[in-house]
Amino acid sequence: MIAGSSDCFIQPYETVGQAVAPFMRLFRGREDAYAQQQSDGRYRLIDKRVTQDVIRTHLTGEITIGLYVITPVEDTCLMTIVDVDSRSKSMAIALSDACRHTGLETDEFLLEASGNKGFHLWLFYDNPVPAWKALQAGKAIASSAGLLSQVEVFPKQEHVPQHGYGNLIKLPGRHAKSGRFSVFFSPDLTPLNFAVVETVQTLSEARMKSLSLCDERRPPPSYPYGVRQDVFDRALPCMERIFNGVEQGRRNICAFWLAIHLKKSGTPADLVRAILIDWNQRNRPPLQNSEVAAVVRRIFRNGYHGIGCNSSDMQAYCDPANCPFRAGMPRQ
């Protein structure tokens, strides 16, 4: 199922230039930044626009990029992705069957072998939809397939602050670590050529509603990474910002603060470690996971309590207008 060159990937198009426009019709995310995948599979933030030239270079395999799914502040997106970290054919078929069970037509979703060790299920929207609706749609399909606990759904967040980025998803193309190209395939797992991108239909919000893929009204906020709801009921704006990933120079102190925040909420050490290792992948660049694990061990062994609200580092994430401490509300 894996193609070995850009020429194979874009067939039946004769040139990469012909493939750019149909590809960009579907695969749309945040437009003012993207991430470039490195040879170890990690990503480097590129604060530049996603242009046709960038996509052309991606399709040739010269670079591999990922798109940030959510447009910040507006909190909208144009795609939902269910990411399966497995080559399991049964899981792919289960997700495909779940799509059809909800009423989606076979040309309203797309399956893709990612070029490494898993696959993606894609839904596309004709206009930007609220991120919470896109997230609900992915969870509805994963739940219908009985796979919600075994997959990742993008977007992962419902909100990305003005200077945040949120999560990214690799675009179909060459995987920089494996060197292999993606392959699109049909619901029965028959490989399809690149021209399938011209046949995939985008969804409207009205269509999502008719299929019961999302609620009419926004439900109570979701709580990421398996953290208990009461943690985020008392969530601080600074912690929410830090959860989106931080820059080099602040990664260790932010890991320290997050670990304290989660510990004080009653989250056990093993879950705090898992949460922070997941969070670490959004840092630019990530720390070594061993460093993150060491921070968690220190927090639970040494009984740290404060998160340094008045430190100069914390001021970069402080939002006084929305902070319960700054507003004089009692700590709970």
Q: Could you report the per-residue pLDDT of 110-121, keeping only the tens digit for each? A: 999 999 889 999
Looking at the structure, do residues 30 and 160 belong to the same domain, yes or no?
A: yes
Residue 327 domain flag = no
* pLDDT number for residue 284: 83
* pLDDT number for residue 249: 87
What is the CATH number for 192?
A: 3.90.920.20
Using pLDDT thresholds of 50, 70 and 90, give the confidence band for residue 163. Answer: confident
* pLDDT number for residue 264: 76
Separation between Cα atoms, residue 282 and residue 40, nearest integer Å: 15
Residue 219 domain flag = no
Looking at the structure, do residues 197 and 238 belong to the same domain, yes or no?
A: no
Domain count, the chain: 2
Q: Are 168 and 68 in contact (CB under 8 A)?
A: yes
Q: What is the mean pLDDT of the chain?
A: 86
Looking at the structure, do residues 169 and 234 belong to the same domain, yes or no?
A: no
Looking at the structure, do residues 79 and 123 belong to the same domain, yes or no?
A: yes
Using pLDDT thresholds of 50, 70 and 90, give the confidence band for residue 319. Answer: confident
Residue 22 domain flag = yes
Using pLDDT thresholds of 50, 70 and 90, give the confidence band for residue 305. Answer: low
Helix count and strand count (H, E) for the chain: 12, 10
**Mean pLDDT calculated for residue range 20-28:** 98
Residue 332 domain flag = no
pLDDT in tens, 236-253: 778 878 887 888 888 999
Looking at the structure, do residues 178 and 306 belong to the same domain, yes or no?
A: no
Residue 285 domain flag = yes
List the domain range (segments joined by +) for residue 108: 6-210
Residue 100 domain flag = yes
Domain termination site, one of 176, 210, 244: 210
CA distances for 23 relative to 39, 196, 197, angstroms = 24, 10, 6
Copy the structure tokens of residue 287.
């720390």
* pLDDT number for residue 243: 81
Cα Rg of the chain, angstroms: 21
pLDDT in tens, 187-214: 999 999 999 999 999 999 999 999 999 8
Looking at the structure, do residues 40 and 158 belong to the same domain, yes or no?
A: yes
Contacts of 26 by beta carbon, 8 Å cutoff, 6+ apart = 79, 110, 122, 124, 197, 200, 202
Residue with tokens 């700054």: 326
* pLDDT number for residue 234: 46
Share of the chain above pLDDT 70, in %: 86
Detail the DSSP E strand segments found in 40-182: 43-46, 65-68, 76-84, 110-113, 119-130, 152-154, 168-170
Separation between Cα atoms, residue 211 and residue 133, nearest integer Å: 12
Looking at the structure, do residues 126 and 167 belong to the same domain, yes or no?
A: yes
Residue 330 domain flag = no
Report how far Cα 221 is from the mean position of its chain's Cα atoms. Answer: 17
Virtual torsion, Cα 173, 151, 76, 162, nearest 10 deg: -90
Domain termination site, one of 154, 175, 210: 210
Looking at the structure, do residues 116 and 17 belong to the same domain, yes or no?
A: yes
Looking at the structure, do residues 200 and 231 belong to the same domain, yes or no?
A: no
* pLDDT number for residue 308: 65
Q: Are 71 and 157 in contact (CB under 8 A)?
A: no
Sign of the CA dihedral running 49, 50, 56, 59: positive
CA distances for 320 relative to 189, 194, 243, 305, angstroms = 52, 50, 18, 21
